[in-house]
Amino acid sequence: MRRFLKNHPHLKVVAAYAIFLSVIPLFIFNDYYYATASVFVINSLLIVSLMIIIGYAGQISIAHGAVYGVGAYVSAILTTKYEFPFFAAFIFSAVAGFLVSILIGAPSLRLKGHYLAMATLGFGEIIIILFQELDFLTGGVNGLTGIKPAGIFGHSFVRLPDYYALVSVIAVFILALLALFVDSRFGRALRAIKSSEVASSVLGLNPTYYKLLAFAVAGSVAGACGSLYAHLDRFISPSSFSISLSVMLVAMVMVGGEESFSGSLVSALLFSLLNEYVRQFQEMSQLIFGAGLFIASVYFRGGLLPSITRFFFRIRRSAGGQVAS
């Protein structure tokens, strides 16, 4: 057991996160904050999954918000129009995210860096146009209202505290799977390919397979997140999944440190608190995160939070050194 934990260091992060989620209700006194907390949990999953594409596979996707949207629409349409049970719709959302994300990742086999960024941006815009134009399914620009609440085994999660509990359990489960994935040979293979495609193909790793795997894993998680979001507000519209959201997600990954699992979680928390603080100007948070991304990319390559931690460690070490000498 101890050895297992040693080989899977990220499970500890997930455990800490799970404890954090279970403590949150102690500080919440009304339903409104349960909704905010649920959005925070969903965002953490989204950011960690995008972090796998960016930090582990070394690719980029400016369509992650759109994949999230596909999951939300699939779940909303299946439960509301076709009477699917929530859990089945949730699985279908993940499958839809999986398929769409593989499609988005396909150009990554031939394109690199900013060309790939543009290609995924193009995909994202296409998906959003489809949300707007397929109005017999998606309700067009007005979106879908009256989405059924989630229900499992006859228990309906209408009350927000209940729903928060459901989202937390699912999220911790998925995060644990992601942690296992990241620490498995797949995760190591991804990092190997990121650092040198040629060298790793000499070792018998197939870059095509692993790159698509990263997109597929991240896409299924994003699809699942979409489903969780659709049954939270029970209202979705194309503007919830705009390109700005995708850019913000990239920003949050960069702020958290592009290879940092725990950084992604902290960045999600930071973002949710910020969003809560500037609620009356929703776009203010975009400005602040835009500025954060800008500063992070210009001054702190490798992430804002890791740079800050390094900075504090350096202070502590140098202070300790002075005492010793």
Partner 1 sequence: MSETLIQLVLSGIVLGSIYGLIGIGFSTVHSSTGAINFAQGEFAVIGAFLCITLVGAGLPFFLSSLLSPLVLTAIVVLIFVFFLRRVAGDPLYLVVATIALSLIMRTIALHLWGREPLGISSAFEGKMLKILDGTLTYDQLLVIASASFLYMVLFLIFSKTFTGRAMKAVVEEREIAMASGLNPVFYQGLSFALGAFIGAFSGCILSPIAMLSYFSGGLLGLKGFASAVLAGLEEPQKVIFGGIALGIVESFAVLLVPSGYKDMVALILLLLVLTLKPEGILSKNRKRMA
Q: List interacting residues with partner 1 (CB under 8 A).
A: 62, 106-107, 110-115, 117-119, 121-123, 125-126, 129-130, 132-133, 242-244, 247-248, 250-251, 254, 283-284, 286-287, 289-294, 297-299, 301
Distances (CA, A) of 157 to 86, 275, 300: 10, 25, 42
Contact between 102 and 216 (Cβ < 8 Å): yes
User: How many DSSP H helices and E strands does the chain contain?
Assistant: 15, 2
Chain position carrying tokens 């620009």: 141
The two structure tokens encoding residue 212? 């698509």
- Cα–Cα distance for residue pair 73/213, rounded to 1 Å: 23
Measured from the CB atom, is 80 or 297 closer to partner 1?
297
Exposure string for 151-171, b = 16+ CB within 10 A, e = fewer: beeeeebeebbebbbbbbebb
- Of 34 and 300, the one with the shorter C-beta distance to partner 1 is 300
Residue closer to partner 1, measured from CB, 21 or 62: 62
What is the closest distance, in whole angstroms, from the C-beta atom of residue 138 to partner 1 in the complex? 12
Structure tokens at 129: 């146009």
Q: Which is nearer to partner 1, 157 or 215 (CB)?
A: 215
Q: Would you say 100 or 224 has its CB closer to partner 1?
A: 100
Residue 220 tokens, joined: 């299924």
Contact present, 178 and 52 (Cβ < 8 Å)? yes
Smallest distance, partner 1 to C-beta of residue 294, A: 4
Work out how close the CB of 105 gets to partner 1 at its nearest, in angstroms, rounded to a whole number.
12
**Dist. CA 243–CA 273, nearest whole Å:** 22
Residue 12 φ/ψ, nearest 5 degrees? -65, -40
Nearest to partner 1 of 153, 299 (CB atom): 299
Nearest distance from C-beta of residue 111 to partner 1, angstroms? 6
User: In the complex, what is the shortest distance from the CB of residue 319 to partner 1, in angstroms, rounded to a whole number?
Assistant: 29
- Closer residue to partner 1, CB minimum distance, 178 or 250: 250
In whole angstroms, the minimum distance from the beta carbon of 210 to partner 1 comes to 18
CB of 113 to partner 1, least distance (A): 6
